[in-house]
Structure 1
Amino acid sequence: MAKSKFIEYIDDALEKSKETALSHLFFTYQGVPYPVTMCTSETFQALDTFEARSDDIVLASYPKCGSNWILHIVSELIFAISKKKYEYSEFPVLECGDAEKYQRMKQFPSPRILTTHLHYDKLPASIFKNKAKILVLFRNPKDTAASFFYFHNNVPDIPSYASWDEFFRQFMKGQVSWGSYFDFAISWNKHLDDENVKFILYEDLKEDLGAGVQQIADFFGFSLTGEKIQTISAQSTFQTMQEKSQETHGTVGPFLFRKGEVGDWKNLFSESQNQEMDEKFKECLAGTSLGEKLKYKSYC
């Protein structure tokens, strides 16, 4: 599917969103809410039987933490090694699409890129059995919430929230697509030091993209010159991605790559919301390996 298939899927989801009220946007599967416009319970059932390969590239993140950015970087790394443009013959989010997609994916050449917003324990068992490498991208929860809100309320066809305050309440309760940021974080926290898992922080990528691209290349075993890494970094800045977003992601592109700033949450959070998030962070992640890695004090 060159990118057109990618755009086709997004356009289809947006079309479904037009007729969907916010109150009917979610269905719950195994305790987590998912958007009815992108996921089905049949797909989740079929996902259990998905056969991962040891050279699959798994990119895990909570929504609005930079998954499209990291997908672009990895596609560019594959292109640099193989000289073949990575083809998205299916929408790359593993849990999105129809239940037959996993059969079709058996025909895809390696390496396959699988992006996902699933909790660690919701991934198909074959990913762990076959020791596929998993890159987990995290972003501070305040900017994640702000970005999620703007995405919901700016994209014309997606059901909107009446206000930031309403969205914040739902976000803190985990009543948004793919559920609670904190539940997602807790599920991954226990596995960040697993041999086949690599943690990367959105804010670190913003600060030094070249170093981040090098780490990603090293983790997946892509051997590239420093010059090539710099070229890929230059093609992968947020600004470059933003400029090409319409071409790569269709009408939704400019909304997917809106600002990408660190600290944008300060324009939305009230003092009490700030305290509520700080308390939640402390309760869920204080003293954990992930809590340290998120550099919460610096960014929140």
Structure 2
Amino acid sequence: MAQRAIPKEIEEKMQKAKDMKPEDMLFTYKGVLYPSLLCKPENFKAMERFEAIEDDILLVAYPKCGFNWMSHVLKKISDAAHGKRGETAQFTLLEFADPEKLQNLSKLPSQRIMGTHVQPKDIPASFFEKKTKVLVIFRNPKDTAVSYFHFYNKNPALPAFDSWDKFFSQYMSGEVMLGSYFDHAVAWEKHIDSDTVKIITYEDMIENLTEGIQQVARFFSLTLSDEQVQAIAQESTFEAMKNKSKETHGQMGNVIFRKGGVGDWKNHFSEEQSKELDTKFEQCLAGTKLGAKLKYEVHCK
């Protein structure tokens, strides 16, 4: 049986969202919007005190950049490397964990696998102090925007947008949940040469999933056989995960898994919007190592 990725309590909160007013679905903490059903200010205060250990695994991504996909891949890699079969503890999203859950997480044995959508400055300092390895996945900003738009409109815990144009405007200004894509990108660019941070891209993983799995395993010093790599790749294609999404993610499966491809932005962006984002990319990431990794000319032109 596939391991359940979305706890039932989150599904229960999704049900509560049906009775909420759109203006109550998000709250601001330190200038950034978060989902009020899943996050509380006390969660972030508890995060600040969280103690990482060196062999923890931390996955980070701006929303809709492949986070759920990579959390699945990481658990598969860890299980295979440690000779387990679906025994990895529940993947924990740090900002969704209340103080009690974070306390319980602190008591778990290694190797703990955790994730977050927050910027480096909001990640518990202990991850950097202990030199815990951090895997960051980025996706090209145009496809990220389109995926995020649909995620907003299919997710009962978020206020829907009545038009793509309105969403695009707020995406560009950073007035969406978790803030600006480009703020995240600029912040992680500063860590790109760190031995404990590895940045991969959604597009590279799509293009060569087998090689991506091998790179991630090596980064975390986990040994896999060729047969294990192939098995993980077969179980981790978008199609395979979407087919099992009801089993693994419950009602959130249809929210999380949509198309999973590259280039859908062309079906949504106007020429003016495309040029506006091109200009923003030039201002924020042109000439940077992360900018080069994103292969903007290939995926966004």
CA contact (8 A) 1:52 1:132 kept: yes
Deviation >6 Å, runs of 4+ = none
Cα distance in 1 between the residues matched to 2:144 and 2:238: 16
13 and 193 in structure 1: CA distance in 2 versus 1, 3 angstrom threshold: farther
Shift of 1:255: 2.2
55 and 171 in structure 1: CA distance in 2 versus 1, 3 angstrom threshold: same
What SS does the aligned partner of 2:97 have? coil
CA contact (8 A) 1:14 1:157 kept: yes
Specify the code of the residue in structure 2 equivalent to 1:40.
K
Cα distance in 2 between the residues matched to 1:9 and 1:87: 19
Cα distance in 2 between the residues matched to 1:202 and 1:216: 13
Cα distance in 2 between the residues matched to 1:13 and 1:97: 14
Cα distance in 1 between the residues matched to 2:189 and 2:59: 15
Equivalent residue number for residue 231 of structure 2: 231
CA contact (8 A) 1:81 1:222 kept: yes
Shift of 1:21: 3.0
Equivalent residue number for residue 249 of structure 1: 249
Which blocks of at least 5 consecutive residues in structure 1 are unaligned?
none
Shift of 1:4: 5.2
Shift of 1:298: 0.5
Specify the code of the residue in structure 2 equivalent to 1:54.
E
Shift of 1:200: 0.6
Matching of residue 71 in structure 1 with residue 76 in structure 2: no
Equivalent residue number for residue 281 of structure 2: 281
Give the paired residue count: 298
What SS does the aligned partner of 1:95 have? helix
Cα distance in 1 between the residues matched to 2:157 and 2:130: 39
Matching of residue 215 in structure 1 with residue 215 in structure 2: yes
What SS does the aligned partner of 2:45 have? helix
Equivalent residue number for residue 6 of structure 2: 6
CA contact (8 A) 2:5 2:249 kept: no
Which blocks of at least 5 consecutive residues in structure 2 are unaligned?
none
Shift of 1:287: 1.3
44 and 299 in structure 1: CA distance in 2 versus 1, 3 angstrom threshold: same
Query: Normalising by structure 1, what TM-score?
Result: 0.95
Q: Please list, as runs of the form range in 1=range in 2, the aligned pairs for 1:98-177 lying within 5 A after superposition.
A: 98-156=98-156, 158-177=158-177
Cα distance in 2 between the residues matched to 1:20 and 1:182: 30
109 and 148 in structure 1: CA distance in 2 versus 1, 3 angstrom threshold: same
Equivalent residue number for residue 46 of structure 1: 46
Report sequence identity in percent: 49
CA contact (8 A) 1:17 1:159 kept: no
Cα distance in 1 between the residues matched to 2:260 and 2:116: 20
Deviations 1:129-150 (A, max 9, x none): 1111000100000000100111
Cα distance in 1 between the residues matched to 2:34 and 2:241: 27
RMSD of aligned residue pairs (Cα, Å):
1.6
CA contact (8 A) 2:58 2:115 kept: yes
